[in-house]
Structure 1
Amino acid sequence: MSTTAQEIEESTAAVSRPGRRLRSLGGWAVVGALVLVGVFVATLVGVQMPNGRGSLDPEGVGDSGGMALAEILRDQGVDITVARTTTEARAALRDGTTLALANPYTLTDDGIRDLIAPAERVVFLSSGTHLLSLLDIGENAAADSAAVGPSCDVREFADVGTIRPDRVFRPAAGVEGCFGSGDAAAVLIDEADGQTRAVVEGARLFSNAYLAENGNAALGLALLGQTDRLVWYVPSFEDTDIEAQSPDTLGSLTPGWVTPAILLLLLTGLAAALWRGQRFGPLVAETLPVTVRASETMHGRARLTAKSGDATHAAEAIRDGTRRRLARRLGLAVHATADEVADAASDRLRIPRGTLQSVLQGALPADDPALVEYSRRLRELEDAVDQAIHELRRPE
């Protein structure tokens, strides 16, 4: 009988081990499938996201995009060509064409000059300090958020109204400044070599979110709608003429065998983790080998409090303990408030309530002598309540 039972047990164990292994592999397969599904969904959402254009992009539908202004220009009969490379922009430029672009941060000075040279009108919808210096058109000035009108004799700005500029400039000599006060202007107009160049900080003024405010839309039409054709160039890091310099990296400064060795160590560590991880079974609840008595915990905390010298914290702990003990002795709930305990104790002791409130709710001591005195008062209060309860229960 014993041999038969042993054989049955061994066969059951042999069957159960592959079953556990299959369940483990099934769990890893489920995790891998979930990861792949998550990556697929994230990729699909990223590809189909309609709001992936940047600031002042004529095809951007987000708050910072410029599609609203582009559609208004098309409604006014302006033929808009969106160029995302300098090659496309130069090919689209011809006589009677306006070139609109944000600050071309990815182009060199020569690249900017070559790009804007064929255009009859050039409108920079945003600019940097270097671009202002390159164009020799002005410099930055102190910003003023007050609403301003055209304040210049430029014909196309006559019906714009007022705007609230986010940035103003100080025009250079011979440059017309509009929409400003004093020496500061939000729009700079420069006529040089048969070309009209305009600079405005339109990242907010011409965005989809704020185009309907004040005269923002009218200003955009006045700047970009003076010709029948508009080439809107969108700068990007993919379109640059700046020669890339490969900086020294950690990989280039280390010997060639370091990277393969690190990868081998990582793979070895991963394999060891998987190997050891499969040896662990389910969690098992076990009793502690040592039972710590409550008195030892109390003395340990007391020693820590005494070592830290925090008399206020110790006094608060003592007062809380006194409050709970008094509540239990007076027939109150364990979590009774200090006011409730003071009311019940004052009724039992026949003393004013304010006297007990000063003990149970007053200021806590800040040093050791005051802590000792405060502890003595709390102890006396507990003894008095115990004595009053004992006398009440004593038979006459």
Structure 2
Amino acid sequence: MVTAVSAAPLTVRPRRRAALGWIGLALALLLVGLVGTTLVYGGWTQKDALDPESPAPDGTRALVRILQQQGVTVTVARDRAAAERALTDRDATLVLRDAPMLSDATLTALADRARDVVLIEPRSRTLDVLLKGSSLGGFANDRAAAPGCELPAPRTAGTARTGELMIPGAGVTGCYPVDGEYGLLSTETSDGRTVTALDGSATMTNTTLPLDGNAALAIGVLARTDAVVWYVPSLTDSDAGSTPRTIGDLTPPWVTPGIVLLLLSAVVAAIWRGRRFGPLVTERLPVMVRANETTEGRARLYAASGDAAHALDELRRATRTRLVRRLGLAAHTPAEQVADAVADRLGADRGAIRGILLTDSPTTDRDLVAASDRLRDLETSVHAAFATERTTR
């Protein structure tokens, strides 16, 4: 009774420790998850490049603060409806990033609501629609350039960074020329509105704003009115019917059923092949294999392959190993020297001994048997020579 009572706690304690370990691990994972969730969703959100509220190096919050200090009201609109409301009944400058989800008509209608439009992430389609057929050019690798035009903002700013270059369309003024292309394009419409395009990543971000005349150029372009509407496009702003087509829309109707059929066939084939192998057989390790079984197995492989030369090489190797020990030679003595030592011991021809131990090449099973007999006779002769030396007179 005493033994049974005392053994119970010994079996319970390891289980209790294991349970406590798993509970501790679960609590640690829960704590890490809570901390990660707090960091991701607890008031901190990753902003995109050129975002007016981002303090990151590629954000533009510094420019927004400078504009506000200049008395300019900056409204951040994160969807098209908010941008349209902010542009209603007042003269404002629309800061527009690339908006591929908007159709040409919607893009033009949104620009018509603003007094001025500034494209800070120009793309070929936007340039073609709003700047009379202009297009993208090369890239100046953020090289500083002189204004090269008479527009007020570039002339006041002086030298500034260019970044992405553009090719002006008909009636469009180009500034900051680099190799025949321009870092800033500007045009005035028939109703007096101004549309300007420049690479905001090279001139307006928190990192590039202090360089050269970038700050003066950005303020001169954006502060032409007392209000700025900074539109950050959203995927939900896409026009009805302009949603990009998915892969399912672009492929024929039979593709999806065909893929499903192939997957089902693969699963059935895997189950079929798996059942053919049968259940797994467990075997306790280590497995002991007798030496004679290994030898017989190798002999069967040599016989099946018909490789008489390889089989003879194995016989020769074993014979040389025994002769080395018998002659008292080093374990790594070359085979030629072993053959010469045997010839000297027996007083036989070295060429004949080398033929037996090294060079003879059997081609048939009969030759292999004859060669093995010669090896046996040679080894017997060496043993007999040593036995004769030990005979007392």
For the criterion TM > 0.5, the same-fold answer is yes
Find the partner of 1:113 among 98, 108, 123.
108
Query: 1:251 and 1:19 mapped to 2: Cα distance?
Result: 56
Unaligned runs of 5+ in 1: 1-6, 262-285, 291-396
Size of the aligned set, in residue pairs, is 258
Q: Report the counterpart of residue 146 of structure 2 in structure 1.
A: 149
The match for 2:326 is: none
Distance in 2 separating the partners of 1:13 and 1:247: 66
1:103 aligns with 2:98: yes
Q: Structure 1, residues 49-83: CA drift from partner, whole Å, max 9, x if none?
A: 65622111111001000000001111111011100
Q: How many angstroms does 1:46 deviate by?
A: 1.2
- Cα displacement string for residues 155-192 of structure 1 (whole angstroms, at most 9, x for unaligned residues): 23321010121111111111011111463111110222
Counterpart of 1:157 in structure 2: which amino acid?
Answer: P
- The yes-or-no answer on 1:85 pairing with 2:85 is no
CA distance in 1, matches of 2:151, 2:244: 42
Q: How far apart are the structure 1 equivalents of 2:115 and 2:287?
A: 87
Map 1:97-246 to 2 at 5 A.
Answer: 97-135=92-130, 136-145=132-141, 146-181=143-178, 183-194=180-191, 195-241=193-239, 242-243=242-243, 245=245
Q: In terms of mean alpha carbon deviation, does 123-132 or 204-213 score higher?
A: 123-132
Contact 1:51 1:61 in 2 (8 A): no
| Partners of 2:117 and 2:194 within 8 A in 1 | yes
The letter for the 2-side match of 1:114 is: A
Contact 1:63–1:207 under 8 Å retained in 2: yes
**Measured at CA, do residues 55 and 178 of structure 1 come closer, stay the same or move farther in structure 2, by a change above 3 Å?**
same
Partner Cα separation in structure 2 for residue 76 and residue 19 of structure 1? 73
> Offset at 1:247?
4.3
Partner Cα separation in structure 2 for residue 252 and residue 218 of structure 1: 61
**What are the Cα deviations for residues 119-162 of structure 1, in whole angstroms up to 9, with x where unaligned?**
11110101222322333341222333542122112123321010
1:71 maps to a residue whose letter is R
CA contact (8 A) 2:101 2:243 kept: no
Structure 2 residue 33 is the aligned partner of structure 1 residue 39 = yes
Separation in structure 2 between the aligned mates of residue 72 and residue 170 of structure 1, nearest angstrom: 30
The RMSD of aligned alpha carbons is: 3.2
Quick one: distance in 1 between partners of 2:235 and 2:7? 63
Amino acid at match of 2:153: E
CA change 1:26–1:108 in 2 (3 A) is farther
Counterpart CA distance in 1 for 2:105 and 2:58 is 29
Contact 1:84-1:239 at 8 Å conserved across structures: no
Structure 2 residue 58 is matched with structure 1 residue 58 = no
Q: TM-score if structure 1 supplies the norm length?
A: 0.59
* Runs of 5+ consecutive residues of structure 2 not aligned to the other structure: 249-254, 268-284, 290-393
User: In the alignment, what sits opposite 1:275?
Assistant: none
Give the Cα separation in 1 of the matches to 2:155 and 2:184: 14
